[in-house]
Structure 1
Amino acid sequence: MRGRRSAIEQLPPAGRADAVQRQRVLRLRGRSVAWLPPLLLLLGITLLDANTSGEFRIISWIVLVPGIAAAICGVWGTGAFAALSLITYFAVDTSWPHQYQTGLPDFILVAVGGILATLACAVRVRGEQRMLHMRDVAETTRRTLLRPLAPGWGGLDHAAVYLAADSEARVGGDFYDIQPGLHGTRVLLGDVQGKGLAAVESAAALLGTFREAAYHEPLLRTVADRLEIRMLRHVNYCASLGYDDDDRFATAILVAFPKSPAGGPPGGDGPAGGDGPALWGGHPRPPDPADPPIPPPAPYTVEVVNFGHEPPLVISPDGVRSLPPGDGLLLGLSELAHHPPPLLHVTLAPGETLLLVTDGVTEARDSAGEFFPLRERVTRAVAQDPRTADPQLLAEFVRDATLRHCGGHLADDTTIFAVRRRQPPEPQP
């Protein structure tokens, strides 16, 4: 989420959950206390051995101390406990009369146990470091694919939740972005068919094309055509390399918030919300007489191109409505038909939030196999609290409701994206 982090996002991600959670639990006031459990065990075994009879000696149990340290301490800490256990064993055992001493065999047992525990700790630490490195690589990939969006980016209030079904990779085929440009702000959300790195590559290709075309192209239809061509090129490229991506496709929803008549981004924030005027060599680009005239947009109108995606919901304090489906073909399937997806013009009044989700939400099933009723749940929530229409609160509500419905077991990547025009600040009295 943008802004404050939710409780779910604060959970340690899979792959390093054990290591991170263990370090959090074994810290007191910012300092590690991982040494405390093996030390208490060492003292406990020593005291118990001193208070038992000669027929029942337990000092050899001290071999457990370096084993416990190997699970929670570092290599040097485990080695220190192995040496301390050996010294303690020798000191306690020699303090007993000769007939009650456990002798050299148990001494060798403690020594060998300490060496093996230290080696095991070294293997564990190396594995944790490798997992942390892989986690950092996956996080970098995710941030590159789904870049952070500044508050109010492009003149839009927005909130996003991304939950990957592949908890190890933490990234999948869902993608979204906001791109302010010369002709307004464009929003894209989509879902590439399949999972794994192949889906990530397709999503990256589409996002790269969107970020360039959405900035420069005056018509949303042209942006949609660029996305379709890019998908076809990517599929052909993968096929030429022998990848099994001949049938790769993607669903997507493309939304355009035209610029306000004043020249700024939607919402009236002025040039600060966009990327500024067109530049050529560092100077404003002069108008080209050959460019076709672009009619001014109608007030509060957005343009939508739907590539076979779930129709977005429009949420306001007064209720919930669905946008028309659009009936467009999926990205990458234009060879099956010669007509492009229709361009829809939709009125989006001030204060209305556009909710876009992937099928990870709508196809989430409960224990009885029932799909998640998104519109019904959102309608009920808005009726109970009209503030739910706020993008941040709306994304959090849909996320929590989806996870409760499926019991936390996501069968597919899940993306929740809520945007609305940023309202100008109210004048101060």
Structure 2
Amino acid sequence: MRAGVRLLSALRRADHIREIAETTRRTVLRPLPSYWAGLEQAAAYTKADLRDVALRMDQRLRRHQVHVRALGGDESERFATAALINVPTHDAAEGRDIDVELVNCGHLTPLAVGPDGVRTLTGDATLPLGMLGLTGETPASDLVPVRAGETLLLVSDGVTEARDADGAFYPLSDDLTSALRDDPALSEPRRLVRYVRAAAARHAANGLTDDTTVLAVRHSPGQGA
């Protein structure tokens, strides 16, 4: 429950930050008329790609490590896994298959869950954020196909590492595949989140002892872009 509340709070903060950033951009980079004071002009603005965003996040985390060490602390173990996803809503709004941009920094591979079953979104993964300096690698950006009607599912390892009495991990993909055969409508985001959390809790012999986060995203045409 605490993880879910923190996730909701983080999503609200992210929406607020995006709104501030967009307002600032429109204020600072406000469009100019094509012909102004005897000058003909044109301009364009392109937001940062996901790979650059991930790299900046890694650099920020490593700067924090350096700062803490300079103060006598030890932040060598601080890192974060992350999966950054960009969904082209202008295509999804038409109910078509789309290519979603994915940057995976050590996170569990996202799943595409639909009435026909479960697919793993393939793509390259790098080390977690805060550790890229160990190898000098940069985050890789992949375009992965998502079919119309599929839901993107991301979970933390608190879900997949839930153990039963014999020590076996919760088989997320296999369990969902079986459940979808009985109820294809389970791929609806709200139902999917409730199911995954409840199933992981049932599987865990001693309950969910680690923070668990489950996020399901599906674009619904007609609900806005």
Residue of structure 2 aligned with 1:307, choices 101, 105, 108: 105
Q: Which residue in 2 is equivalent to 1:254?
A: 84
Number of aligned residue pairs: give it.
197
Query: Conserved in 2, the CA contact under 8 Å of 1:313 and 1:321?
Result: yes
Deviations 1:377-408 (A, max 9, x none): 11111111011000000000000000000045
Please report the TM-score for the alignment, with normalisation by the length of structure 1: 0.42
The answer on 1:237 being equivalent to 2:67 is: yes
8 Å CA contact retained: 1:260, 1:267:
yes
Higher relative contact order, structure no. (Cα contacts within 8 Å, ≥ 6 residues apart): 2
CA distance in 1, matches of 2:17, 2:191: 19
Residue aligning to 1:83: none
For residue 237 of structure 1, give the secondary structure of its aligned residue in structure 2: helix
- Would you say 1:146 and 2:23 are equivalent positions? no
- Per-residue deviation, residues 102-139 of structure 1 (Å, max 9, x unmatched): xxxxxxxxxxxxxxxxxxxxxxxxxxxxxxxxxxxxxx
Question: Gapped runs of 5+ residues in structure 2?
Answer: 23-45
Give the aligned residue type for 1:403. A
Superposed CA offset, 1:300-345 (max 9, x none): 1110010011101100101110011523111111211122122110
TM-score by length of 2: 0.76
Contact 1:351 1:423 in 2 (8 A): no
Spell out the pairing of 1:29-178 with structure 2 (5 A cutoff). 142=6, 146-148=10-12
| CA–CA distance in structure 2, aligned partners of residues 351 and 144 of structure 1 | 23
Sequence identity percentage: 40
Alpha carbons 2:155, 2:212 under 8 Å: kept = yes
Counterparts of 1:377 and 1:178 in 2: how far apart (Å)? 37
For the 8 Å contact 1:308–1:326, the answer to whether it is kept is no
Question: What root-mean-square deviation, in Å, do the aligned CA atoms of Structure 1 and Structure 2 show?
Answer: 3.1
The offset of 1:374, in angstroms, is 0.3
Aligned equivalent of 2:218:
420
In 2: Cα distance, 1:325 partner to 1:412 partner: 27
- Aligned to 1:267, which of 52, 68, 93? 93
2:48 matched to 1:218? yes
Which AA in structure 1 matches 2:137?
A: H
For 1:385 and 1:315, the matched residues in 2 are separated by: 12
User: Shift in Å at residue 373 of structure 1?
Assistant: 0.2
Q: Matched residues in 2 for 1:179 and 1:310: separation? A: 25
Aligned: 1:228 with 2:58:
yes
Cα distance in structure 1, aligned partners of 2:201 and 2:56: 35
Counterpart code for 2:10? L
Give the deviation of 1:228 after TM superposition: 1.0
The whole-number CA distance in structure 2 between the counterparts of 1:235 and 1:144 is 27
Question: Secondary structure, in 3 states, of the residue corresponding to 2:63?
Answer: helix
Helix, strand or coil at the partner of 1:372:
coil
| 1:356 CA displacement | 0.2
Partner of 2:160: 362
Which ranges in structure 1 are unaligned for 5 or more consecutive residues? 1-8, 14-140, 155-176, 183-215, 269-297
Partner residue of 1:283?
none
State whether residues 314 and 354 of structure 1, in contact with CA within 8 Å, keep that contact through their aligned partners in structure 2: yes
Asked whether the equivalents of residues 123 and 142 of structure 2 are also in contact (C-alpha less than 8 Å), the reply is no
In the alignment, is residue 401 of structure 1 matched against residue 199 of structure 2?
yes
Offset from partner CA, 1:44-67 (integer Å, 9 cap, x none): xxxxxxxxxxxxxxxxxxxxxxxx
Letter in 1 for 2:202: R
